[in-house]
Each structure stands twice: as C-alpha cells, then as structure tokens.
C-alpha cells in the first residue's frame, strides 16, 4: 500500500515534517498543511473551516483523493484555569481539537470511496495524566479530546474500512521542548524509568510509529492510543 495521498497537518513543524519524510520514503505522496510557509507546504489554518476545505481541494487537484490523514497541528498554553484567558482557551481548543474534526470530515468521503483509509491523531502524554501549568488547561483538555475523537471515529467508520488511532508522545526534541529551561527538562527526563536514555525522543521516533499505524501490518489496530513517551506514563 504505497502511492497513497497523505495529508499531514502541522507538516512544517518538527514532528509533522518528520512524518512527511517517512511517508515519502515509504513511497507515498505526503503533503504538509500548515499556517507557516515552506517548500511544498499547502497554506492552511486548520481551525478555519473554509481554509481546510480549500487546502484539501488543492491536495486533491494535485494528487487525487486523500487516503491517509495525520493530524499533528497544535499549540500549547500555560498556567491554570485563572491564568488562561477565555480567548486563549478557545484558540487552543480550535487549533488542537476542532481542527481534527474539520480535517477528518473533509477526507472521510475520499477514504470511503477508496475502500478504506487511515487517520492518526497526534495527542500528548498530557492527555493521559491531565497536564499541568506547563501545558495549561486547554492544551490538556484538547489532547484528551483527541483520544476520545479517535475512538468515536474508529467505531463510526470501521464499516467504511477506515482505521483511526492516536499517538500520545511524551518528551521529544522539538522547539516546544527546547523552550523549556534546563532544570525543567531534567525534571521531566527524571520521570522516565531508570532515568531513561538521558535525552528526549526524536521526531523520527514518533514518525516511525505514526507510519507503522498506517501500514497493512497494523490492519487490526484501530481505536487505540499508542504511548510514545519512554515510560513517562504507563497505563
């Protein structure tokens, strides 16, 4: 199963770009959707319905129906309920969670007509343990929502041959990770069993899991959340 049209939201970011490279190396045709410009990037504000519709239409015109969707777009917050403003809350929920709904509803018909497809939602370990002031409440809630949305779509669209899964990454070497001070990074790595490898995972580590979930050998995996966090959370 190669030569598929693959859409990766947040595809200009560290994780999204790694996912794009992995799919391309597998023989698929991956396209990055992102609000940030870049080579080969289709401009898209994933929180805006019209922008998503236009971007997906551009992808179809260029490469044909979408067979795989990876939703990696997201932004973070900070603080507690009293610190995060209602405007910030709404923006984070829209970018992280509503966007997954908007993108999925644009590609489900393509997948159904093609006899099936794969969707992977990139959540977070924060969805597992509830987050903290480091992530903010909206980020944690939105990532938790992605896990439930994946299960809902997996049940709803199994009859269409569409498999839907989520990944919940822990510490990975991304700009978000690098923005933390050294003490905070050390504290997080200290949560890994045995101290972990002494460094976070890399974007390619997560990308490998995402691509695996979209391969034929994963045909019996749907509605699952795969934890890629070095053992930070086990459950």
Task: Indicate which CATH number applies to the domain containing 185.
Answer: 3.40.50.720
Query: What is the pLDDT at residue 167?
Result: 98
Residue from 44, 52, 139, 172 carrying the catalytic annotation: 139
Query: Could you identify the residue written with the tokens 């490998």?
Result: 208
**Considering the domain boundaries, does residue 26 fall inside one?**
yes
**Considering the domain boundaries, does residue 234 fall inside one?**
no
Alpha-carbon gap, residue 170 to 39, rounded angstroms? 28
The stretch 104-129 carries a mean pLDDT of 96
**Considering the domain boundaries, does residue 67 fall inside one?**
yes
Please state, rounded to an integer, the average pLDDT across all residues of the chain. Answer: 93
Query: What is the pLDDT at residue 196?
Result: 64
**Considering the domain boundaries, does residue 105 fall inside one?**
yes
**Considering the domain boundaries, does residue 13 fall inside one?**
yes
More confident residue, 45 or 171: 45
In the chain, the number of structural domains is 1
**Residue 98: which domain range?**
5-228
**Considering the domain boundaries, does residue 139 fall inside one?**
yes
User: 1: pLDDT confidence band, cut at 50, 70 and 90?
Assistant: low
The stretch 214-222 carries a mean pLDDT of 97
Catalytic residue status for 101: no
Q: CB under 8 Å to 155, separation ≥6 — which residues?
A: 223
In tens, the pLDDT along 179-207 reads 777 877 887 888 888 766 678 888 999 99
**Considering the domain boundaries, does residue 126 fall inside one?**
yes
pLDDT exceeds 90 at position 174: no
The stretch 120-146 carries a mean pLDDT of 93
In tens, the pLDDT along 59-92 reads 999 999 999 999 999 998 989 999 999 999 999 9
The stretch 127-152 carries a mean pLDDT of 94
Query: Could you identify the residue written with the tokens 């932004």?
Result: 75
**Considering the domain boundaries, does residue 170 fall inside one?**
yes
**Which range, of 113-122, 143-152, 188-197, averages the lowest pLDDT?**
188-197
């Amino acid at each position: 199963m190669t030569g598929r049209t693959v859409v990766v939201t947040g595809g200009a970011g560290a994780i999204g770009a790694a996912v794009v490279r992995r799919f391309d190396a597998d023989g698929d045709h991956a396209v990055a959707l992102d609000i940030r410009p870049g080579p080969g990037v289709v401009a898209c504000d994933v929180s805006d319905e019209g922008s998503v519709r236009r971007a997906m239409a551009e992808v179809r015109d260029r490469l044909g129906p979408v067979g795989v969707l990876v939703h990696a777009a997201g932004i973070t917050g900070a603080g507690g309920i009293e610190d995060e403003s209602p405007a910030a809350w709404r923006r984070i929920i829209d970018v992280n969670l509503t966007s997954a709904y908007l993108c999925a509803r644009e590609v489900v018909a393509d997948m159904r007509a093609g006899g099936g497809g794969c969707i992977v939602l990139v959540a977070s370990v924060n969805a597992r343990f509830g987050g903290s002031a480091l992530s903010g409440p909206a980020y944690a809630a939105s990532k938790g929502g992605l896990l439930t949305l994946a299960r809902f779509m997996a049940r709803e669209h199994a009859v269409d041959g569409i498999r839907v899964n989520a990944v919940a990454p822990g510490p990975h070497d991304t700009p978000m990770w690098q923005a933390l001070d050294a003490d905070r990074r050390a504290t997080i790595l200290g949560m890994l069993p045995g101290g972990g490898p002494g460094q976070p995972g890399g974007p390619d580590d997560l990308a490998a899991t995402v691509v695996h979930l979209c391969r034929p050998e994963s045909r019996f995996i749907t509605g699952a959340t795969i934890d890629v966090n070095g053992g930070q959370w086990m459950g």
